[in-house]
Amino acid sequence: MKHRMSRRNVTDIPFPSLSKYLDRLTRDGLQRRLVAIEAVDGRHIRVSGRDLVDFSSNDYLGLSGHPALRHGALAAMDTWGTGARASRLMSGGLGIHLQLESAVKSLKDSQDALIFGSGYLAAIGIIPALCGRGDCVFMDRLSHASIVDGVLLSKARFFRFHHNDMEHLETLLGRYRGHYRNALIITESLFSMDGDMAPLEDLIYLKYKHDAMLMVDEAHATGIFGRHGEGLVTRKLAADVDIMIGTFGKAFAGYGAFAAITSVLKEFLVNRCRSLIFSTALPPPVVGANLAALELSSRESWHRERLKDSFARFGQLLRQYTGIDINCNSQIIPVIIGGNKEALTIEKNLFEMGFMVKAVRPPTVPPNTARLRISLSSAHTSEDLERLAKGIARSLKDTMGPRPSCLSKDPAA
């Protein structure tokens, strides 16, 4: 068959269904748009000429822009240049990558560590390296898209257990595990859209009972929880978790990810993990900033302490002003609205009041659970928190009436 170059204008949409699809998204309040942030200054951002207090980023420790991280990036660039020039297995494996892996080993107290281009790349590389046809995966049904994509790529048979429901997981393991060769259980430790935590000790118990491996994604817990910022898989639990993933792009205000693992698993992944083998290594300035962030976070635990005070305080403020009891045990606070359009209206109202708070909608969260995802940072002041709590209370009332019935007490319920 001959292929001819199309004479279409480049602005034409090649398939009519694309525009129909986009129209449908708009109609259902599900369209997504890229936002151009014009300036970033600590906890403030400027969008469309308006200065906003940002409650939507994952810069939980307020380290983005910190002089120590800038200096780390510049020093690494002076020594190693701007790019890694190749994948680590070609000629991109630099000394500074090994330095970062050593720092991760100290943070996690793990036998070894392997760094990745991003958390997404870590998940879509590690899961298919470990599992394939004939194996099975049991994942929490609220697991992040990178985990879902990794599992789909692996071609392993997979089962999704109800969120944090260990009885359901045990039932699935009992029923299906025996039919497959290897089994992998996957969860997040702190859930990115719900701010609640996995029952790690129970997962460890089930992993041993059913002869499975356990992988825990600590993207949002790393830097925040644990005495040294190691995450919710504390040093006491670390030896029982086979793969701990952490990211540098959130609390550490950089980019990239790591897996804290045994040396033999590292060697295995170096030989089998496609997202590591076939992708350029992290650029030196990014690695330099990541190193500086790890160092700073272990030295200055007050960032963590301040953040913890903030989420406890914000829980009280929300109760006081909205009358609802929302899960505020972490820096991620979901205010479940339900409808997509209502969530977008509240997002817009809050923007007008000077806040950037994102309405998170399906498919990022399950249908009918659109929510405001409030993301606290240690850089927020108590005045920021108070103003936001009042703003949410006002906007909820204006949009949904005096007693918004869709607000769940337990967001994970």
Residues that bind ligand PMP (CB under 6 A): 118-120, 144, 146, 188, 192, 217, 219-220, 247, 249, 257
Least spacing, CB of residue 256 vs ligand PMP, in Å: 7
Return the residue matching tokens 């205010």: 335
Whether 58 sits among the annotated catalytic residues: the reply is yes
Catalytic residue among 57, 58, 327, 377: 58
Task: Please spell the DSSP secondary structure of 158-184, one letter per residue.
Answer: EEEEPTT-HHHHHHHHHHHGGGSS-EE
Whether 192 sits among the annotated catalytic residues: the reply is yes
Whether 217 sits among the annotated catalytic residues: the reply is yes
Catalytic residue among 108, 228, 250, 266: 250
Whether 266 sits among the annotated catalytic residues: the reply is no
Q: What are phi and psi of 158, to 5 degrees?
A: -130, 155
SS3 label, residue 205: helix
Which residue, 146 or 349, has its beta carbon nearer to ligand PMP? 146
In angstroms, the first-to-last Cα distance of the chain is 55
Would you state the structure tokens that stand for residue 205, as one six-digit string? 């118990």
Which residue, 216 or 343, has its beta carbon nearer to ligand PMP? 216
Which residue, 58 or 399, has its beta carbon nearer to ligand PMP? 58
Q: What are phi and psi of 243, to 5 degrees?
A: -135, 120
Which residue, 4 or 32, has its beta carbon nearer to ligand PMP? 32
Task: Please spell the DSSP secondary structure of 87-101, one letter per residue.
Answer: -IIIII--HHHHHHH
Residue 188 carries which side chain, given as an amino acid letter?
E
Cβ-contact 293, 303 below 8 angstroms: no
Which residue, 120 or 311, has its beta carbon nearer to ligand PMP? 120
Cβ-contact 199, 188 below 8 angstroms: no
Whether 110 sits among the annotated catalytic residues: the reply is no
Residue 346 carries which side chain, given as an amino acid letter?
I
Closest residue (Cβ) to ligand PMP? 119
Least spacing, CB of residue 119 vs ligand PMP, in Å: 2
Least spacing, CB of residue 186 vs ligand PMP, in Å: 11
Least spacing, CB of residue 34 vs ligand PMP, in Å: 16
Catalytic residue among 217, 218, 342, 347: 217
Catalytic residue among 112, 188, 196, 384: 188
Which residue, 220 or 361, has its beta carbon nearer to ligand PMP? 220
Catalytic residue among 220, 266, 303, 358: 220
Report the candidate in 66, 63, 107, 65 with the shortest Cα–Cα distance to residue 377.
63
Which residue, 195 or 391, has its beta carbon nearer to ligand PMP? 195
Least spacing, CB of residue 260 vs ligand PMP, in Å: 15
Catalytic residue among 66, 144, 228, 303: 144
CA 13 to chain centre: 33
Least spacing, CB of residue 149 vs ligand PMP, in Å: 10
b (16+ CB within 10 A) / e for 162-195: ebbebebbbebbeeebeebebbbbbbbbbbbbbb
Would you state the structure tokens that stand for residue 36, as one six-digit string? 């151009």
Catalytic residue among 192, 290, 310, 395: 192
Which residue, 118 or 297, has its beta carbon nearer to ligand PMP? 118
Q: Which residues contact 102 (CB under 8 A, 6 or more apart)?
A: 113
Q: What are phi and psi of 138, to 5 degrees?
A: -120, 115
Least spacing, CB of residue 359 vs ligand PMP, in Å: 16
Least spacing, CB of residue 164 vs ligand PMP, in Å: 14
CA neighbours closer than 13 Å in the CB half-sphere of residue 225: 20
Return the residue matching tokens 């709590």: 389
Cβ-contact 122, 245 below 8 angstroms: yes
**How do strand 44-47 and strand 50-54 relate by DSSP bridges?**
antiparallel
Residue 112 carries which side chain, given as an amino acid letter?
D
Packed helices 145-154 and 119-130: angle between N→C axes, nearest 10 degrees: 30
Instruction: List, by residue number, the catalytic residues.
Output: 58, 144, 188, 192, 217, 220, 250
